[in-house]
Structure 1
Amino acid sequence: MRIEGKVWVVTGAGAGMGRELVLQLLSRNARVAAVDLRAETLAETAGLARAGERLSTHVVDITDRVAVRALPEAVVGAHGAVDGVINNAGIIQPFAPVAELDYGDTRRVMDVNFFGAYHVVEAFLPLLLERPEAHLANVSSMGGFFPFPGQTVYGASKAAVKLLTEGLYAELSSTGVRVSAIFPGAVRTAITENSGVTAGVPEASDSKIPMLSAEKAAGIMLNGLQKDRLHIYVGVDSRLMSTAIRVAPKPAIGLVQRLMARATGQR
């Protein structure tokens, strides 16, 4: 679906890839409803955009189903319609194995990454189905199809987003709503800080593949949406891992486990 002239909702719009998605959608002559938990970071995004009435900001906790269900009315009030939704908001878990993970952290990751995305889908899908053409995109992760030690619950939440999105693709294939699952690899964002994760973070310098900038990642995503791709792989690492897990799962998992152990200082 074309981007220009359409109204897009972007969650997690206060920083990182979400902010870049907002800025690049606006630069492609779209209208945007930017959604985030933090009013201050949304204000920063709006200040960078300088888009006037083409941008509206909405402070919403996507884990709050009641608040999310009120969001479509606010977006339509600001823009008149909704043509596209990009479910980008997400957090990671503390870098720890499942046996050491606090249940509260587990629940929080699932609430934000899966149920938060589901709440947005549930709220906006009826509006998308009314449009002549529309697009629903959910940001999963490379971790949604490839296991990374210390991020098992995060991966499970993103795998759930992957299957939710693919199921929606099947269910909506006879409608005007196009559906995409997005799989970012390593992208330079502040997700660790925004997730409240400080301990055990791998050193980026140990990666053999350069991290993408949030700007470049957002551009890849939007180009994929314009081409109505079901799966959008963001980064060389995401593409490589998607092949490795299908062709040689055990060796690939073993290699990543060793690299992760080295990056986190484990032996």
Structure 2
Amino acid sequence: MDVSGKVVVVTGAASGIGRALVEALLAKGARVAAVDLKVEALEALVARVNAGERLSTHELNITDRAAVRALPAEVVAHHGAVDAVINNAGIIQPFERVHELSDEVIERTMDVNFFGTVWMVRAFLPILLQRPEAYLVNVASMGAFLPVPGQAIYGASKAAVKLMTEGLYAELMETAVKVSLVMPGAVATDIAANSGVTMGDGEEGAEAGEGYQALAADKAAEIILEGIEDERLHILVGSDARLMQLANRIAPKGSIRLIQRKMRDLLGDA
């Protein structure tokens, strides 16, 4: 899809990859509906991009089904249509073993990463299906195919997004709606802070582990938009994601051991 002139909804739009996507989309001539929880960050985004009426902002918790159901009408009221949705919003969990996590953390991780994406898909697909050309993009993670110790529930939530997105690709193959699944490796964002997770130094590269340099958010956005333009099903973001996907396919146990060795210090003693 050529995004120029298209109306694109982006969740998690006020920081990290989401903000970089908004800026890149506007630079390519798109109109953008920026969705985020934090109203102050959305206001800062408006001032940062200075895009006038081509940018609308929507304060929204994607786990609120009623609010999500009302969002398409709000976007259409401002922009006149919706051509694409990029479900980027997500959180990580504290670096703890599954049995150490609270029920509330487990539920919140699944609610934001998986169910929030589900509610957005269900709200916007009827509109997208009416368009002559449309696009649905769900952002998962390298953790969707490679288990990271201390992020098992996060990985499970993103694996659910992965399989659902691939199912949507199959369901929508004979329609005008194209589907892509984004699987980033380590990207320099504020996801840990936004998730309420304290990790100390080096948190931006935490998902990939020590030895990988986190990719800049604007570079990640560039790769994602190139994947959309090429209509790729799987968009791997970062050399670590590409390398670990290959390693996991060739030697599943070995790739898991490699990640475990790199990440075990974050978990402490069993």
> TM-score, length-normalised on structure 1?
0.97
Q: Which amino acid aligns with 1:3?
A: V
User: For 1:1-53, what per-residue CA distance to the aligned partner results, in whole angstroms no more than 9, with x for missing partners?
Assistant: 11101000000001110001001100000000000011011111111110000
Classify 1:93/1:263 alpha carbon distance in 2 versus 1 (closer, same or farther; 3 Å). closer
Deviations along 1:203-257, whole A, 9 cap, x unmatched? 6496222110111101100110010000000000000111111110011101110
2:128 match:
128
Report the equivalent of 1:49.
49
**Inter-partner Cα distance in structure 2 for 1:106 and 1:167:** 24
CA distance in 2, matches of 1:27, 1:266: 48
1:257 and 2:251 are equivalent in the alignment: no
Alignment-derived partner of residue 163 in structure 2: 163
Q: Is 1:147–2:150 an aligned residue pair?
A: no
Contact 2:192 2:199 in 1 (8 A): no
TM-score relative to the length of structure 2: 0.96
Distance 1:97 1:201 in 2: 21
Report the equivalent of 1:227. 230
Distance in 1, Cα, partners of 2:165 & 2:247: 22
Letter matched to residue 8 of structure 2: W
Structure-2 separation of matches of 1:217 and 1:207: 19
Does structure 1 conserve the Cα–Cα contact (< 8 Å) formed by 2:97 and 2:267? Answer: no
Distance 2:104 2:268 in 1: 26
Say whether the 8 Å CA contact 1:10–1:88 is kept in structure 2: yes
Residues 208-219 of structure 1: matches in 2 within 5 Å? 208-219=211-222
- Work out the number of aligned pairs and report it: 267
| Equivalent residues of 2:19, 2:45 under 8 A apart | yes
Deviation at 1:202, TM superposition (A): 6.2
1:40-79 per-residue CA deviation (whole Å, 9 max, x = no partner) reads: 1111111111000000000011000000000000000000
Unaligned runs of 5+ in 1: none
Stretches of structure 2 that go unaligned for 5 or more consecutive residues are: none
In structure 1, distance between residues paired with 2:11 and 2:84: 12
Assess if the C-alpha contact under 8 Å between 1:180 and 1:232 holds in 2.
Answer: yes
Shift of 1:262: 3.8
SS in 1 for 2:181: strand
AA at the equivalent of 1:232:
I
The residue matched to 1:70 in structure 2 has which SS?
helix
Aligned partners of 2:96 and 2:267 also within 8 Å: no
Cα offsets for 1:108-139 (capped at 9, x unmatched): 00000000001100000000000000000000
d(CA) in 2 for partners of 1:192, 1:253:
22
SS at match of 2:129: helix
Aligned-partner Cα distance in 2 for 1:261–1:233: 25
CA distance in structure 2 between the aligned counterparts of 1:156 and 1:102, rounded to whole angstroms: 16
Residues 68 and 201 (structure 1 numbering): CA distance in 2 closer, same or farther, change over 3 Å?
A: farther
Query: How far does residue 264 in structure 1 lie from its aligned partner after superposition?
Result: 5.6
Is the partner of 1:67 in helix, strand or coil? helix
Q: Which residue of 1 aligns with 2:242?
A: 239
Q: Runs in 1 of length 4+ with deviation above 6 angstroms?
A: none
Structure 1 vs Structure 2 CA RMSD: 1.5
Equivalent residues of 1:95, 1:200 under 8 A apart: no
Which letter maps to 1:190?
D
Evaluate the alpha carbon distance shift between residue 107 and residue 31 of structure 1 in structure 2; reply closer, same or farther with a 3 A threshold: same
